[in-house]
Chains A and B, each alone.
Chain A
Amino acid sequence: TQLLEQSPQFLSIQEGENLTVYCNSSSVFSSLQWYRQEPGEGPVLLVTVVTGGEVKKLKRLTFQFGDARKDSSLHITAAQPGDTGLYLCAGGPGYALNFGKGTSLLVTP
Chain B
Amino acid sequence: DAGVIQSPRHEVTEMGQEVTLRCKPISGHNSLFWYRQTMMRGLELLIYFNNNVPIDDSGMPEDRFSAKMPNASFSTLKIQPSEPRDSAVYFCASSSGTGPSPLHFGNGTRLTVT
Contacts and interface: CB of A to CB of B under 8 A. Distances in A.
B42 A45 contact: no
Contacts of A44: 105
Interface in A54-92: 88, 90
A25 interface: no
Contact of B105 (A40, A42, A98): A42
B81 interface: no
Contacts, number: 57
Contact of B107 (A41, A45, A99, A100): A41
| Interface majority SS (helix, strand, loop, mixed), chain A | loop
B4 A42 contact: yes
Contacts of A40: 107-108
B12 interface: no
Contact of A96 (B41, B45, B99): B45
Contact of B45 (A31, A48, A98, A101): A98
Interface residues of B, number: 26
B100 A42 contact: no
Contacts of B91: 42-43
B42 A42 contact: no
A99 B102 contact: no
Contacts of A101: 41-43
B43 A88 contact: yes
A42 B45 contact: no
Contacts of B31: 95
Contacts of B101: 95
A95 B100 contact: yes
Interface of B: 4, 31, 33, 35, 41-43, 45, 48, 55-56, 91, 93, 95, 97-108
Given A41-B107, A95-B101, A99-B45, 14 more contacts: A33-B102, A42-B106, A43-B43, A45-B102, A88-B42, A90-B103, A95-B31, A95-B97, A95-B99, A95-B100, A96-B45, A97-B103, A98-B45, A101-B42
